[in-house]
Amino acid sequence: MCDGRYVGHLVDARRIQRLDLTGDGACTERPDALAVEEPLTLRVDSVVVTTTMRTPGHDLDLALGWLVAEGCVRHPGDVLTAIACDANTVDVSLGAGVAPPRPRLTMTSSACGVCGSDAVEDVLMRTSRPSADEVVTLDARVMATLPDALRAAQPAFGRTGVLHAAGLFTTAGEPVCVREDVGRHNAVDKVFGWALREDLLPASTYILQVSGRASFELTQKAVLAGVAALSAVSAPSTLAVDVARASGLVLTGFVRGSTMNVYSGGERVHLAPPT
């Protein structure tokens, strides 16, 4: 039923800056292992039914499992063939009498075979890099305070343990809008919807702090809203770093005690001695 080919890898390296904020501070460059994120397009009987961002590997199982969750297939015989026709596309042929799923999602205008660089290109086409006078520099010691500041401003998290948060902060570290949601992308949308109403877009003098990880989707939203920086509590994916670098977005994360990682835009993150 499937060709057993295992395509892809879970982890890839990007060169990052690691800041140590103790004393006068120090910055070292080093390679960092990041989770790979790339788009996968699923075609069923030649029709594109979904494109999803995923970590490559077990792509045929990903396609089949998606069809299970749609209620489309239940037994091995429901699937005639499942073939990885390139690194980013799986073709499934259903058995006779198996109804195809409804198409679910159209990520970009490409019909199929979208790869990570297409996804980055798609973001660049929908936005413009900040002009020279919009570019701000950021204080690493302020950036390091934002994860705690976000948690402090998150009223419901303590009660449920399940809500993601996103907060817009000034470059001095003051929160101006904090929102919570079960979906991390929704929390970010709620912040930027507020910013639109306040006529703050492009929000080129603000920092977006998010709980959890930085995916391509969240980074794309930060780029489209034009913030100076995206700061994540945890790590970004490869594609989040790639789109941040292509867009001129500062991307930081993994603030742990006195250390933090700068994945993109390091030249705009200053590490001054403590005042």
Tokens describing residue 174: 């003051």
Which is nearer to its own copies, 26 or 125 (by Cβ)?
A: 125
Tokens describing residue 68: 């299970």
**In the beta sheet, which residues pair with residue 175?**
169
**CA–CA gap between residue 31 and residue 54 (Å, rounded):** 22
* Residues 242-261 contacting its own copies, CB under 8 A: 254
Could you tell me which of 150, 256, 128, 260 has the C-alpha nearest to residue 207? 150
CA dihedral 89, 108, 246, 88 (to 10 degrees): 0
In whole angstroms, the minimum distance from the beta carbon of 66 to its own copies comes to 5
Which is nearer to its own copies, 54 or 129 (by Cβ)?
A: 54
Query: Is 72 labeled as catalytic in the residue annotation?
Result: no
Phi-psi region of 133 (alpha: psi -120 to 50; beta: other; left: phi over 0): alpha
118 near its own copies, judged by CB under 8 A: no
In whole angstroms, the minimum distance from the beta carbon of 194 to its own copies comes to 5
Please select the residue that binds its own copies; options are 16, 21, 48, 63, rule is CB under 8 A.
Answer: 63
* Residues 132-171 contacting its own copies, CB under 8 A: 155-156, 159-163
Binding mask 180-219 for its own copies (x = CB under 8 A): xxxx-xx-xxxxxxxxxx-x-xx----------x-x----
* Residues 89-108 contacting its own copies, CB under 8 A: 102-106
